[in-house]
Amino acid sequence: MRNGTPGFQPNRLVEARDSRGINQVGLAALIGKASSSISRWEAGDQSPEPEVLDNLARALNLPVAFFIFPQPQHGEGPMFCRSMASATQLLRRKIRSRLRWTQDISLVIQQWLDLPVVNIPQLDAENWQDIRDTDIETMATVCRQRWNLGNGPISDVLLALENAGIIVVKEEVGSNNMDGVSNWSAVDERPYILIAADKATCVRSRLDAAHELGHLVLHRKIREGDLKDQSSFKEIERQAFLFAGAFLLPAESFGAEVWSPSLNSFLSLKERWRTSIGAMIKRCATLDILSPEYEQRLWKHYGSRGWRKGEPLDDKLRPEQPRLLMRSVQLLIEKNIRDRQALIEDLRFSASDIESLCGLPPGFMSSEEAAIISLPRLKSQENSPSNGISGGVVIPFNRR
């Protein structure tokens, strides 16, 4: 790499541009340079001069240190993007970058805090074609049993996932064509989920979370290339949807409550199970409670009531929110382990990015006067060797 800024990381520029959802031409216009210059910097053929890097950092709302710090090697594991077929390539790259930034933030936080231990059952299948529907039903049951969730409705799906060691982010991505993304990081062997909050209903969020959990449980070992084949991707998505239905609506307990498979009876069950009527129709069809003809009749009446645009109770059921990253940042500040400015420097992101990805109130990281929510008493752990802090801490979650 000739001249420019020593230590400049080309992939960081690609990641930053993707995260902002802009192409090379758009970024070039922001800083008054040719798009060919952006291309050379991202390819590693050249690096921007320090003053140009300052302009890039301002245009992308990131500290200069972000572009100097090497990317952690999160591995080549598949990254599952919901609605991959309908989403634009720019949007897919954006949500992938946002999840990578979440993983980077988590790695820094783990220097001081012990997050919940990863407790995710795995289906040892390297090819999605080897996965049978009975395997999927079994793994959904295993998840519930391992996490002590019982067979009834799950009161808070995101809390259950975080208790099991999954880092969950809920963030608006600027489009209704993307539902979520998930990935296992090879650095900490921890799963991560980002759920798009643009269609923020409770039942939609729970289904998206359960769907991404299905990928983490079933598809960790499949090849990324399988996701690029349309027929393969369609079946992989079907498998994740089947897992979500089995996880949210167990066959024995939910089936026993469907005394009359009608739209009105499903509506009466919606508040208890906190699952959409559409998902209940599909689950009943999977369980052979509905004949194909009757299922089609239900869908026809479902559409005639206008429920494809929004179901009853969607505006009344409160959406669930992730807590783990938010509590982690609050804890570091409350216990004087790091102040806000030091933490921003450690993370190498803008204050607004940290707030958005960690679920913090706007302005929390930039205001020294921001209120911190009191946290439960924390259990001391072994000293962290990398930072000299007197002891690590565990972020507690309610056990079921």
Q: Is the pLDDT of residue 381 over 70?
A: no
Residue 366: is its pLDDT beyond 70? yes
Which pLDDT score, from 0 to 100, does residue 281 have? 98
Pull the structure tokens for residue 164: 């099991």
Q: Which residue has the higher pLDDT, 179 or 307?
A: 307
pLDDT class of 391 with cuts at 50, 70, 90: very low
For 165-178, what is the mean pLDDT?
Answer: 88
Residue 30 has pLDDT above 70, yes or no: yes
The whole-number pLDDT of residue 397 equals 58
State the pTM of this model.
Answer: 0.89
CATH T-level fold of 1-71: 434 Repressor (Amino-terminal Domain) (1.10.260)
Higher pLDDT, 127 or 400: 127
Per domain, the residue ranges of the chain are 1-71, 74-400
Query: Where residue 218 falls among pLDDT bands split at 50, 70, 90?
Result: very high
Q: Are 79 and 37 in contact (CB under 8 A)?
A: no
313: left (phi over 0), alpha (psi -120 to 50) or beta: left
> Is a pLDDT exceeding 60 seen at residue 110?
yes
Q: Tokens in use for 36?
A: 């060919």
CB atoms inside a 10 Å sphere around CB 181: 27
CB contact set of 139 (below 8 Å; sequence gap of 6+)? 121, 123, 217, 218, 243
- Mean of the per-residue pLDDT values for the chain? 89
Sheet architecture: strand order including 167-171: 80-81, 180-185, 190-196, 167-171
pLDDT at site 91: 87
Closest CA to 347 of 156, 141, 154, 72: 72
Non-local (6+) Cβ contacts of 78 within 8 A are 183, 215, 219, 220, 222, 223, 224, 226, 227
Residue 400 has a pLDDT of 44
Question: 207 with 276: CB under 8 angstroms?
Answer: yes
| Placement of tokens 């643009």 in the chain | 198
pLDDT computed for residue 80 by the predictor: 83
191 neighbors 118 (Cβ within 8 angstroms)? yes
H/E stretch holding 146 reads: helix 133-146
pLDDT, tens only, 327-357: 999 999 999 999 999 999 999 999 999 999 9
